[in-house]
Structure 1
Amino acid sequence: MIKIVSLICVLTLFGCASTHNNEIQEVDCIGIYLLGIFPYEQKVKLKIVQKRIDRFGHITYKAGANLGVHFMGRGLIKESEIQIVECK
């Protein structure tokens, strides 16, 4: 009985891990990102180089090399935090 339960657990975990796929698209866009909080807000233009869509449909963007703006970690920006201005 324990072997059957452990086999079911392994197959379930394997199934969950195999459905994890991120769709990554290379894009060439310009976006506006808002830095700071009111009343010290500043709008910054960013060059967007990647668009990522995870398995839940959440969209994140990755900024390219921008002077003066560096993002912590992997540098991913949520869709709600950036305003896309122009895409080529």
Structure 2
Amino acid sequence: MVFRFLIRYLANNEHLVQKLSESYPMRRAAQLVVRVMFHGKNFIEENRLHEKLTPEQFKTLMRDIAENFQKQIKQTQENLQRKMKQ
């Protein structure tokens, strides 16, 4: 309950949201998301996967991509933690 209130307060704080949006990590994360979206779209269009895949196959492909992306994020976090300890 308290956590939900705190998140709602922080999300509705315009000054905080503005500062966060101007920070390097948030800008970089947004750039990466857009990059992944455009590369994925181009990959699908170039290989004509939208014509070949059934909806179930497409869901499986997207799930695999999302899992791979999460693994890469976790690996990057671990690498950063190791570097910070050194």
- TM-score range with shorter-chain normalisation? under 0.3
Q: Name the structure where strand makes up a greater proportion of residues.
A: 1
State the TM-score, normalized to the length of structure 2.
0.27
Q: Name the structure where helix makes up a greater proportion of residues.
A: 2
State the structure with bigger RCO (CA 8 A, min sep 6), 1 or 2: 1
Structure with larger Rg: 1
State the TM-score, normalized to the length of structure 1.
0.26
